[in-house]
Structure 1
Amino acid sequence: MTEAQRRHYAIPLYQAAEESPALARLADRVRASSSRLAAIRPLLPVPLRAAVQAGPIDEGQWCLLVSSNAVAAKLRQFLPTLQMHLEAKGLTVSGIRIKVQGHGH
Structure 2
Amino acid sequence: MGDENLHRYTPRVNAKPPGQKPQPLVPDALALGDALKRSTPLAQLRQRLSDSNARFAAIQPALPSTLAAHVKPGPVDEEGWTLLCANAPVAAKLRQLQPRLEELLRQRGWQVSPIRIKVQSRN
TM, length-normalised to structure 1: 0.87
Structure with higher strand content:
1
Task: Return the letter of the residue paired with 1:55.
Answer: G
Alignment of 1:1-105 (within 5 A): 7-9=27-29, 11=31, 13-104=32-123
Is the 2:48–2:77 contact (alpha carbons within 8 Å) kept by the matching residues of 1?
no
Q: RCO (CA 8 Å, sep 6+): is it higher in 1 or 2?
A: 1
Residue-by-residue CA offset, 1:41-79 (whole Å, 9 max, x unaligned): 010011011111111112241100000000000010100
* Structure 1, unpaired ranges of 5+: none
Percent identity of the aligned residues? 44
Task: List structure 1 runs of 4+ shifted beyond 4 angstroms.
Answer: 3-6
Q: CA deviation at 1:15?
A: 1.8
Is the 1:60–1:93 contact (alpha carbons within 8 Å) kept by the matching residues of 2?
no
Equivalenced residues, count: 101
Deviates more, 1:33-42 or 1:92-101: 92-101
Cα distance in 2, alignment partners of residues 69 and 33 from structure 1: 22
TM, length-normalised to structure 2: 0.75
Cα distance in 2, alignment partners of residues 95 and 59 from structure 1: 12
Task: Return the letter of the residue paired with 2:41.
Answer: A
